[in-house]
Structure 1
Amino acid sequence: MNIVVVGPGAIGSLWAYHLHQAGHRVSLWHHTPSQSGLYPLSLCTLAEDTLPTIDFTTNDTEALKTADLLLVTVKAWQLEPALLPLIQHLHPDTIIVCMQNGMGATDSVYEKIQHFPLVLATTTHGAFKTDAQQVCHSGLGQTMLGAANLSGEQCTFLAEVFNHALSEVLWVADIRGPLWNKLAINCVINPLTAIHQCPNGTLAEEQFRPTIKALLSEIVAVMRAEGMTTSEEELSARVAQVITATKANHSSMKQDIAQQRRTEIDFITGYLIQQAQQHHIAVPNNLRLFEQIKQMEQLWIQA
């Protein structure tokens, strides 16, 4: 397939490298025109091997025109400004796959992209950039794909395409379930690690248990109102499992706060609060974390 990866950060670079290795023609798209030309990228594997450098073409309009697939891996708040300038160059049959943390990122652009086959994706693979030209695969995970519109339902074959590049990949009939489950975990881990500037594993300490329990109680109430089948016990076990499995990891929100970058809190806890309001459910503990992160962001915005 002809594939353009929009936003070659850690996850975008990871997928670009593996899709290229799987035999696809992969090009990158940066938000800055100065990145046009060749973009060298190497991969550091879980076995700590460094794979050969691949030169990717970047910001090539011709690649957009011939793209079978647009994989958009920018942060949730970057989706609209990154995607809208590109759609004029795409063939109507180009499949758009959006892979972001959180939920609701496509809502503001849906009317303008709904005539394309649209697929939403979520992944638990871990990755980080050591520098602009190298990505390290830091944790094995699972990727799930699902249709976001009627024409997207014809794209079930993408699970095989993605799975061949970087397993395990599953196609799900209702992507909202996996998205909500990941959102729930992110609502706990991301803001707490960002506020306390700690790795994920620190949240297993006794001092965090009452806070996590209070957060999950509110999250479960909203998820049930949204039609998701879950329990506080089930979700608590899943959160604990992720904290243990990723104990050495630093959440993206923790890193964003540390480097004074805008976070994705509006599309994680902010989305939860928005849905809670629609169902008239009080979520004071999640609201408190949301306000703390927004205050932290505001400090350097004002500076």
Structure 2
Amino acid sequence: MKNTPWLIIGAGAIGLFWACKLEKLGNKVHLVYRSENPGKKITLESLTDEEGQQQVSVSTHKIKSFKAEELTAQYDKVLLCTKSFDLKNAFSQIANHVTSDANIACLCNGIGAQEDLQNILLDTQNLWAGTTSEGVLKIEANHIKHTGLGDSYFGQWRITSPAKEFPIENMTVTNIHQRMIEKLAVNAVINPITAIFNIHNGDILNDEFKPLIDATLSELSSVFTHPKFSYAQESQHLTQENLKNRVHTIAQLTRLNRSSMHEDLRLQRQTENSFISGFLLDNSPIELPVQRLLFDGVAYAEQREEVKKKLLSLP
């Protein structure tokens, strides 16, 4: 693989983390920011070592930062670390600086934005969808804290023959759609519930939320195991028991974290609701009354108190 610079779009926690990660792997990295300039050095504070053991370490990474309009080079490796609703627009702003055979990767929550991006790419460009379970917090414009080890995977959004390898070793998977559905399933429980009730991830395991969690999982398993669901081939294994184990594990591992949707509501920012609950509502072959309540509770602040009462009274 050519040692040309990676172009990372987005200077949030994940964008800064990947800038440091790629630089650590020996890559040149150029970072595009929108509002907060992270400067030329990013501080990465890690709370765990490579084995996941508690060990605080601090490293500094030299990264060149630009606004989109300041770019002059051409890039053949791009990683978009934006919110789902920003993905297509963020790429459009730098599209003139991307080669016709570039590998273009994206890390965003939910499903739907990837296809929108694919539709504006050249046939000769490769789109890679990614998922990550790394825990990262942004402390300042140029300072992030790595709070938990996780796995990251990338797969071709549209499979080509022969299949290609992602430009970073040991991250290529062939079943990225399945992995994204699995992540969507967990997000469709933890994100809206923590956002609506203003709680940490681990709090969803409290007794008061048990009927709500059970109802949400039961409804989701009915969609994912339904033969007419749009991703049925990738989701048949997501039974209620399977989903329960996944959600409980993630909630426990991230019990002190606040979900991204919780933070977006708290800071009065746009959420990825349309790409999580909204995606399920648009693609489900059956009615989803619980997901509809969760969607509305996030989307409409004026309905939130009423939605909370309905959610807590579910049988």
The aligned counterpart of 1:229 is 236
Taking structure 2 as the reference length, the TM-score comes to: 0.85
User: Is this contact kept in 1: 2:23–2:29, CA < 8 A?
Assistant: yes
The aligned counterpart of 1:31 is 34
Taking structure 1 as the reference length, the TM-score comes to: 0.88
The aligned counterpart of 2:175 is 174
Task: Count how many residue pairs are aligned between Structure 1 and Structure 2.
Answer: 284
Matches within 5 A, 1:1-303: 1=3, 2-32=5-35, 35=37, 38-46=39-47, 47-59=55-67, 60-63=70-73, 65=74, 67-115=75-123, 116-150=125-159, 154-160=163-169, 163=170, 169=171, 171-224=172-225, 225=229, 226-227=231-232, 228-230=235-237, 231-276=239-284, 279=285, 281-296=286-301
- Could you list the per-position Cα deviations for residues 169-222 of structure 1 after superposition, in whole angstroms to 9, with x for gaps in the alignment? 4x2212110000000000000011111111111111111111111111221222
Give the AA of the match of 1:92: S
- Could you list the per-position Cα deviations for residues 64-113 of structure 1 after superposition, in whole angstroms to 9, with x for gaps in the alignment? x1x22100010001112111121122111111001101111123332211
Structure 1 or 2: more helix by fraction: 1
1:133–1:149 CA distance, 2 compared to 1 (3 A): same
Q: Percent identity among equivalent residues?
A: 31
| d(CA) in 2 for partners of 1:153, 1:282 | 39
C-alpha RMSD over aligned residues: 2.1
1:114–1:150 CA distance, 2 compared to 1 (3 A): farther
Greater than 4 Å deviation, 4+ residue runs:
150-154
Shift in Å at residue 269 of structure 1? 0.8
What residue ranges of structure 1 are gaps of 5+ in the alignment? Answer: 164-168
User: Is this contact kept in 2: 1:200–1:248, CA < 8 A?
Assistant: yes
Give the AA of the match of 1:148: W
* Partner-residue secondary structure (3-state), 2:184: helix
* Partner-residue secondary structure (3-state), 1:52: strand
- Could you list the per-position Cα deviations for residues 6-58 of structure 1 after superposition, in whole angstroms to 9, with x for gaps in the alignment? 012111111110100111010001235x84x9443110112332212524232
* Partner-residue secondary structure (3-state), 1:94: strand
| d(CA) in 2 for partners of 1:110, 1:55 | 28
1:150–1:180 CA distance, 2 compared to 1 (3 A): closer
Give the AA of the match of 1:202: D
User: Is this contact kept in 1: 2:33–2:65, CA < 8 A?
Assistant: no
| d(CA) in 2 for partners of 1:195, 1:237 | 22
1:132–1:152 CA distance, 2 compared to 1 (3 A): farther
